[in-house]
């Protein structure tokens, strides 16, 4: 089972995401809830932006793997950040964190700057959709 990348030339070449991802007809959809880069229950000072991004990605992948998937099964991702300027300033380091976990696989993605997140101290939250092999019951 492979996801099919859809990048119409008329939209320009994306970098670090894809315009669309077509899932195979037979597969199981996994909707991963928002995974925060920091939880209010965690002890100590919240980690910096890049560390929270890494933690949120790890949490997403933990759910995907628990369902029998792998990073290449992630078809869609929405990243919520509380500070877009910090995201832009850290793009190189964020790219390194991404490639350590996903290699060169890029799902269809959206990035949103939000006023705040539920978990106090969280500056990043990520939700995702994965398409896993097999058929739903």
> What are 101-126's pLDDT values in tens digits?
999 999 999 999 999 999 999 999 99
4-132 homologous superfamily = RutC-like (3.30.1330.40)
What is the rounded CA–CA span in Å between residue 57 and residue 14? 21
* pTM exceeds 0.85: yes
| pLDDT given for residue 8 in this prediction | 84
| pLDDT given for residue 96 in this prediction | 97
How do the domains of the chain map onto residue ranges?
4-132
| pLDDT given for residue 136 in this prediction | 62
What is the rounded CA–CA span in Å between residue 19 and residue 11? 8
H helices of 40-90, in order, are: 49-66, 84-89
Is 60 exceeded by the pLDDT of residue 137?
no
| pLDDT given for residue 2 in this prediction | 78
Query: What confidence tens digit (pLDDT) does each residue in 54-99 have?
Result: 999 999 999 999 999 999 999 999 999 999 999 999 999 999 999 9
What is the rounded CA–CA span in Å between residue 74 and residue 89? 25
Q: Which helix (H) or strand (E) holds 78?
A: strand 74-81
Mean predicted confidence (pLDDT) in 46-50: 95
User: Confidence band (pLDDT; 50, 70, 90) for 1?
Assistant: low
Please, are residues 7 and 13 in contact by the beta-carbon 8 Å criterion?
Answer: yes
Query: What confidence tens digit (pLDDT) does each residue in 5-20 have?
Result: 788 888 888 777 778 8
What is the SS3 assignment for 88? helix
| pLDDT given for residue 121 in this prediction | 94
């Amino acid at each position: 089972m492979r996801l099919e990348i859809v990048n119409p030339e008329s939209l320009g070449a994306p970098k670090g995401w894809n315009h669309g991802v077509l899932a195979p007809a037979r597969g199981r959809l996994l909707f991963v809830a928002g995974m925060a880069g920091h939880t209010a229950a965690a002890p100590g000072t919240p980690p910096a932006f890049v560390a929270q991004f890494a933690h949120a990605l790890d949490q997403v992948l933990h759910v995907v793997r628990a369902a029998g998937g792998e990073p290449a099964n992630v078809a869609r991702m929405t990243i919520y950040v509380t500070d877009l300027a910090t995201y832009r300033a850290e793009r190189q380091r964020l790219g390194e964190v991404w490639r350590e976990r996903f290699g060169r696989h890029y799902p269809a993605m959206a990035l949103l700057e939000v006023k705040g997140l539920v978990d106090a101290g969280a500056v990043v939250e990520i939700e995702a959709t994965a398409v896993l092999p097999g058929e739903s019951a």
